[in-house]
Amino acid sequence: MNLLRSIFQVLAGLVVLLVPFVLIYWVLQTLNLEPLEVLKNLLGSAFEPFLGVIRASTGNMTTVFQGLTVDFVPIIFCGLLLLLSVILTLISRFIGYVNSSLNYVSAKTQAHVSQRQREQEKKALEDIMMEKTAGYVVVRYNPHTTSSAYLISSGLSQDDIKEMFMDHFNKYNYHDARLQKESTENSYIIVFDDVPSTLIYCLALQENISKVNQELSKSGVKLHITSGIHCTSPLDDKETAIGITNKVCNLAAPGDITVSKLVKDIFEKDRAEHTLNFISRGVYDLGGEEVEIFTVKRF
């Protein structure tokens, strides 16, 4: 369409350029100057076929003025050329209008298709969210000796410190949350039937351990609680889910909470208003699946 429009624009310009040459031919024909006879004959060979057609339609259009024979047919030809140029310009603009209309319709159609695709993707994501209702949490308990270890005379033993941790660790009040037998001495695995509750639990644990660390400051020990959260369908293989959650936890710095993207999406959908900041750590291959991992911080 753009090429056709350009062709008509060029033709309109060329037609307008012929007008001065026709006028020159008209002047030479009227004055009949012998030195310019060659130029007049050259222009006449180009224009006379067209002028002859006009004369056949209009008849004799000459008059005598002060001894000069004036032929009005070239003037009529100039007018017809200008009219043709206007028609070609209008056709070019019409083609441009049609092209713009088609582009507008195409853009609207593409926007509609894109919107429909986004809606389908959103629905697909919501379907996945509805399916992934099993939340897996891995909590790692790591006591570290600090520079004030010489104050160990506070009387707290390692068992006392472990008991302080477990006291807060066991304070989850969510329905059907279960501590898994795959848990070890320093790595605990809990399965929730409500995905948002996994993050609420880890945040509460993190805050409570911060208070415990204040109590432990004189004992020369500091607890690092690192958590990883992942979610799957209850029908998915539990061992695979635990393995992925462990990998999510491996990506957390000491004292941090990391979650997979689906946990983030489900939490944000469930809690439209929250005070958490999800910081992307990048995309990782976890068990053959590309998963984006986020660190969770409070604002």
For the segment 92-139, what is each residue's pLDDT rounded down to a tens digit? Answer: 999 888 888 888 888 888 888 888 888 777 776 666 667 788 899 999
Q: Are residues 39 and 138 in the same domain?
A: no
Q: Average pLDDT over the chain, rounded to whole?
A: 86
C-alpha angle 19-73-20 in degrees, rounded to nearest 5: 15
Residue 58 shares a structural domain with residue 162: no
Same-domain check for residues 201 and 258: yes
Q: How many CB atoms lie within 10 A of CB 39?
A: 13
Q: Are residues 147 and 18 located together in one domain of the fold?
A: no
CATH code of residue 192:
3.30.70.1230
SS (H, E, C) 28-59: HHHHCCHHHHHHHHHHHHHHHHHHHHHHHHHC
Q: What percent of the chain has pLDDT over 70?
A: 93
Most confident option among 37-51, 74-88, 131-145? 74-88
120 within some domain: no
Indicate whether 276 and 144 sit together in one domain: yes
Report whether 72 contacts 60 (CB < 8 A).
no
What band does 83 get if pLDDT is binned at 50, 70 and 90?
Answer: very high
Q: Which domain holds residue 57?
A: 2-97
- Cα separation of 113 and 81, whole Å? 47
| Residue 161: inside a domain | yes
How many domains, in total, are found in the chain?
2
Whether this model's pTM surpasses 0.75: no
- Mean pLDDT of the 216-235 span: 87
Q: Which residue has the tokens 């005070």?
A: 275
Confidence of residue 174 (pLDDT cuts 50, 70, 90): low
Return the number of other C-beta atoms located less than 10 Å from residue 285's C-beta.
9
- Domain identity same for 157 and 13: no
How far, rounded to the nearest angstrom, does the alpha carbon of residue 95 sit from its chain's CA centroid? 33
What pLDDT score was predicted for residue 28? 86
Residue 250's pLDDT band (cuts 50, 70, 90): very high
Final residue belonging to a domain, choices 97, 120, 146: 97
Kindly state whether residues 153 and 289 are assigned to the same domain: yes
Query: CB neighbours of 52 closer than 8 A, spacing ≥ 6?
Result: none
Structural domain contains residue 92: yes
Mark which of 52, 71, 97 sits at the end of a domain. Answer: 97
% residues pLDDT > 90 (the chain) = 36
- Asked if 151 and 274 sit in the same domain, the reply is yes
**291 touches 259 (CB < 8 A):** no
Cβ atoms of 190 and 172 closer than 8 Å? yes
Q: What sign for the dihedral angle of Cα 115, 116, 118, 123?
A: positive
For 135-170, how does the pLDDT look when each residue is reduced to its tens digit (9 = 90+)? 999 999 888 877 665 545 555 777 888 888 888 888
Contact between 132 and 232 under an 8 Å Cβ cutoff? The reply is: yes
Cα gap 164→159, rounded to integer Å: 9
In a domain, 277, yes or no: yes
SS3 (DSSP) at 157: coil
Gap between the Cα atoms of 261 and 215, Å rounded: 35
pLDDT tens per residue, range 181-214: 999 988 999 999 889 999 999 999 999 898 888 8
Residues 233 and 287 in one domain: yes
Contact 228, 252 (CB under 8 A): yes
How many Å apart are CA 299 and CA 296, to the nearest integer?
A: 10
Are residues 170 and 41 part of one domain? no
- Name the least confident of 66-70, 154-158, 173-177: 173-177
Residue at 248 is within a domain: yes
Q: Using the predicted structure, report yes or no on whether residue 53 has a pLDDT greater than 80.
A: yes
Q: Is the residue at 102 inside a domain?
A: no
d(CA 146, CA 73): 109
Predicted local confidence at residue 213, as pLDDT = 87
- Helices (H), ranges, 132-231: 158-169, 195-216
Tell me: do 93 and 136 sit in the same domain. no
- Residue 187 has a pLDDT of 93
CB 81 within 8 A of CB 92: no
Contacts of residue 151, Cβ cutoff 8 Å, sequence gap at least 6: 218, 219, 220
Q: Is residue 105, in this structure, part of any structural domain at all? A: no
Higher per-residue confidence, 268 vs 219 = 268
Is there a domain that residue 108 lies in? no
> What pLDDT was estimated at residue 159?
82
State whether 35 and 175 are in the same domain. no
